Amino acid sequence: MPAELQSASQGQTLVLTLHNPERRNAIEPAMYAAGIEALGVAERNPDVRSVVITGAGETFSAGGNLQRLQAMRHADPAEQAQGIEGLHNWIEAIRTFPKPVIAAVEGAAAGAGFSLALACDMAVAAHDAFFVMSYSNIALSPDGGGSWSLVRALPRSLALQWMMTGERVPADRLHALGLLHSLAAHGQALAAALALADSLNQRAPNALASIKELVNEAPGQSLTAHLALERDHFVRNLHHANAGEGIAAFLEKRAPRYR
């Protein structure tokens, strides 16, 4: 059965499932392209307010397909570079997607699977899941933005430790460090992620899009530049119909109905 990225709707949430059971949901180039296309369609669809990325069965993703990587050693390096660019385009698409993206992790999130989970806005993991930057275990270095994400979330020495030693990191350790939104019972990561997505779906999409953009832009901006960006977003959102609904609902002590 070929590797594929399966797509299904759960209310206002789009669920994208890494499906490559013969390779423990290893991520293949066809999945990158499908992921970018799915996000593009979801961005234009107002009925989709969030996205959940998960893996089929008991594993989130084992990362790269090692048999494919071994074969690629005999190909032109430019061909492998092009493949990695496909993955990186998907990572960037997740980061810039204006709606919440949540990872639901069961079992292992290894290598590029770990990088993919880190690229999501939030992650929910089963309590017995584990994460591993496994690249150095096979004499490789990270891709998929894994090193970028870890260096921004952890002390430098700990980020280096995880990447250099390739050690398994249990989900509760990531949760304690703030890299996971929450832990779930075994087999319940997707259900917990969908519940989180549903709670976000009840909020104003324009406000969530602004928050995501502000968070993305903050690390590279001066305070002065960021204050100006906050001002512009605030004014734009204040004059959006959803702000009128949100303020009125609060004053009237009722649930808001955002569009």
Q: How far apart are CA 211 and CA 77, in angstroms?
A: 39
The three state secondary structure string of the chain is: CCCEEEEEEECCEEEEEEECHHHCCCECHHHHHHHHHHHHHHHHCCCCCEEEEEECCCCCECCECHHHHHHHCCCCHHHHHHHHHHHHHHHHHHHHCCCCEEEEECCEEECHHHHHHHHCCEEEEECCCEEECHHHHHCCCCCCCHHHHHHHHCCHHHHHHHHHHCCCEEHHHHHHCCCCCEEECCCCHHHHHHHHHHHHHCCCHHHHHHHHHHHHHHHHCCHHHHHHHHHHHHHHHHCCHHHHHHHHHHHCCCCCCCC
Mean pLDDT to the nearest integer, 226-242: 98
The verdict on domain 205-251 having CATH code 1.10.12.10 is: yes
Q: How confident is the model at residue 69 (pLDDT cuts 50, 70, 90)?
A: confident
Q: How confident is the model at residue 194 (pLDDT cuts 50, 70, 90)?
A: very high
Mean pLDDT to the nearest integer, 54-76: 91
Provide the pLDDT for residue 72: 83
pLDDT of 26 over the 80 cut: yes
Q: How confident is the model at residue 244 (pLDDT cuts 50, 70, 90)?
A: very high
DSSP-assigned beta bridge partners for residue 64: 27
pLDDT, one tens digit per residue, over 151-191 is 999 999 999 999 999 999 999 999 999 999 999 999 999 99
Q: How confident is the model at residue 80 (pLDDT cuts 50, 70, 90)?
A: confident
pLDDT of 248 over the 80 cut: yes
Closest to 25 in 3D by CA, of 53, 51, 52, 64: 64
pLDDT, one tens digit per residue, over 10-24 is 999 999 999 999 999
pLDDT of 66 over the 90 cut: no
Whether the Cβ atoms of residue 53 and residue 104 lie closer than 8 Å to each other: yes
Strands, sheet with 169-170, edge to edge from the N-terminal-most edge strand: 108-110, 130-132, 169-170
pLDDT of 76 over the 80 cut: yes
Residue located via tokens 């990325």: 53
Q: How many CB atoms lie within 10 A of CB 184?
A: 23
Provide the pLDDT for residue 83: 87
For the chain, where do the domains classified as CATH 1.10.12.10 start and end?
Answer: 205-251
pLDDT, one tens digit per residue, over 89-142 is 999 999 999 999 999 999 999 999 999 999 999 999 999 999 999 999 999 999
* pTM summary value: 0.96
Provide the pLDDT for residue 202: 97
**b/e code 80-107 from CB counts within 10 Å (16+ = b):** eeebeebbbebbebbbebebbbbbbbbb
Contacts of 117 (CB under 8 A, 6+ apart): 53, 60, 103, 105, 109, 123, 131
* Architecture of the CATH domain 4-201: Alpha-Beta Complex (3.90)
For the chain, where do the domains classified as CATH 3.90.226.10 start and end?
Answer: 4-201
pLDDT of 1 over the 80 cut: no
Q: How confident is the model at residue 234 (pLDDT cuts 50, 70, 90)?
A: very high
Q: How confident is the model at residue 2 (pLDDT cuts 50, 70, 90)?
A: confident
**What is the torsional sign of CA 22, 13, 118, 143?**
positive
pLDDT, one tens digit per residue, over 195-222 is 999 999 999 999 999 999 999 999 999 9
